[in-house]
Amino acid sequence: MVARIAVILAMVVALLSGCAATNQRVTDIQSVATTQVKTGDSKELDLLLEPVDTVGILETQALRDRRVSFREVVFPEILASGELYPGRLKWFGWCVCRGREFLAQLVLSPKTSLSGKFIGVVVIDGTEEEIAGGQLVALSTRFEFLYPLNLKETEIKVLNKDEILSVSKKRQEIILAQGIEVDQLPKADFFLEVINSWNRVETKRGWVLTPLSEEQFDYVSRINPAYTHSQKWVKSMHGSIALDPYSTAVGMLFDQVNAIGIQPEGWDFGSHSDRRVAAEINKHLLDRKQSVIIELNRRLKASGGLKP
C-alpha cells in the first residue's frame, strides 16, 4: 500500500514538473505568416523541443512554399558536447531583420572545417530579400543560452527568458545586439536537395523531415524527456532513406549509443545523462576532430612537407 502511494505521488510530481517545463511559446511575433505551423497562428509559436522534434527539420509553411534561405555557420562545440544525442541533429534559432522576425532551424552538419570547427546549416523562414541585412542566433534546447554562431563560438546566458519569449521588442533587441549578420554567412542552397530526400513524418506538432529510418524514428518517438507526458506517436511515414552524409552520421551515433541499452530521457543541458553515453558522444565528436588532423597530415605528406 505504501509503495503504491509512493508511486502515485511520484507520478503527480512528474506530471506537475512536466507541465511547468512546457513554457516555450514565443508570442508577439512581428513577422509574416511564413512562420505558421500546425496551429495556424502566426503570432504564437511553440518551440518546445522534445527528442522526437530534434531528429529532423520542422516542415513550416515557408519551407513548403520554398520561401526559405539556407546558410552555413560555425556550430558551437559546447552545444554539441552538451546536447547532442543519438539521432539528434536540430536546434531552433531566430532571425531578426528590419523589425520582422523569422524562425530558424539549426542542423549539425557531418562536415568539419580544416580549422577544426564543426559546421552547421541554418534554415531560415524567409526569402533572401526578406532576411538581407538581418541578424541570426541559435538557441539551446530550453532557451537557457543563445549562440551568435561566430568563429569565437560565443555562448550567452539568457537571463530574462520569459520576457524574451513574450515581448518582441526585447527579443529583437538582444538578437540585433548579439547575433551574427546573415549576409556574412555563406549560402547553403544544396541543403534543400538533401532534405528533399529524407523521410516525411507526421507528429503532433506538424510534419518533420528526417534522415532517420522508420525504426529509429519510432524508437525516438517513445522517449519521455520529462517535459510533457503526452503520448507521442508516428501517424505515417512516406518516402525512403537516401544515402546522404547526414543520415550516415546521425545513424552511426544512434547505433553506437543504442547498442549500450541505456534508456535516454531529456536531451538538454539540464538532463542527467549516463556517463557511458556521454563518453560515446564525446568520442564521436573527437573522432570528427581527429579526421581533420588526419586529412591535414595527408595533404602535408602529399606535398612533400612531411617525412615518414
pLDDT of res. 306: 55
The span from the CA of 237 to the CA of 248, in Å, is 19
Task: Report, as ranges of residue numbers, the positions in the chain whose pLDDT lies below 50.
Answer: 1-21, 33-34, 36-41, 224-243, 257, 260, 262-264, 308
What is the structure's pLDDT at 171?
94
pLDDT at 18: 41
pLDDT for 58: 94
Predicted confidence at residue 157, as pLDDT, reads: 93
At 16 the pLDDT is 38
Q: Rounded to two decimals, what is the model's pTM?
A: 0.74
